[in-house]
Amino acid sequence: MQQIAIFGGTFDPIHWGHLLIAQTALYQVPLEKVIWVPSLNPPHKKAALFEHRWEMLQLATRENPAFTVSLVETNRSGTSYAINTLIDLSTVYSNTHWYWIVGLDTFQTLPRWYRGHELAQMCDWLIAPRQLGGETIAQSELICKQVEQLLRKQSSTIRWQFLNIPLVGVSSSLIRKLCREHRSIRYLVPEPARSYITAHNLYSDKSE
């Protein structure tokens, strides 16, 4: 049975933190493949055009043969829900043990996701530590245990592990902010993504 992880996100834009997380997951588990799934219409977020986000992902991941960027979200209209993504990908990749890659901030919200308690037990969770408010690794573990308990109340069990990466302070919002302020994003995003942002004049709008 092959082992594949889904890495869902807005990727608005992709940054080095995302790449480090995916690469760590590949070797830590180990996985055959990481499928990057940019959301078409992310719930609760206004984002750059899907075409731009998808293209930047393509450019930034093309050197790694174990990375695939998926168009699965374009098959459905309306809001993108994670459980539908996993169901759709399962029809393409049979005989697969599934993993889901998330940052700690996103994992914390899992009990509130659409059919989150079902999705929780359909795959293993790979959690990237993320600084939420100065907490230590022990506190991050506590946060994950709280999520586990909440899900148990909904009769759901969950398997999770931390990804062994250093804390990375980069976020897409930071990149967008730097662009708005006409400051450099060099070494924060892969070069092809940086060139794409410049060429298409993305994130320069002051209105965000």
Q: Under the rule (CB under 6 A), what is the footprint of ligand ATP? A: 9-12, 17-18, 21, 102-103, 105-106, 128, 130, 168, 170-173
CB of 1 to ligand ATP, least distance (A): 25
Please identify which residue in the block is written with the tokens 């493949």.
Answer: 33
Six token digits for residue 180: 């708005």
Closest CA to 1 of 35, 48, 33, 42: 33
Of 103 and 111, CB closest to ligand ATP: 103
Of 1 and 137, CB closest to ligand ATP: 137
Of 117 and 176, CB closest to ligand ATP: 176
Q: Strand pairing partners for 178?
A: none
CB of 11 to ligand ATP, least distance (A): 5
Six token digits for residue 135: 């907490």
Q: Which amino acid is it at 120?
A: A
Residue 135: other Cβ atoms inside 10 A: 15
How far is Cα 164 from Cα 46, in angstroms, rounded to an integer?
31
Of 103 and 190, CB closest to ligand ATP: 103
Where residue 135 falls (left for φ over 0; alpha for ψ -120 to 50; beta otherwise) is: beta
Of 14 and 151, CB closest to ligand ATP: 14
CB of 60 to ligand ATP, least distance (A): 12
Closest CA to 19 of 71, 50, 64: 64
CB of 95 to ligand ATP, least distance (A): 26
Q: Which residue is nearest to ligand ATP (CB)?
A: 103
N- to C-terminal Cα distance for the chain?
A: 45
CB of 165 to ligand ATP, least distance (A): 8
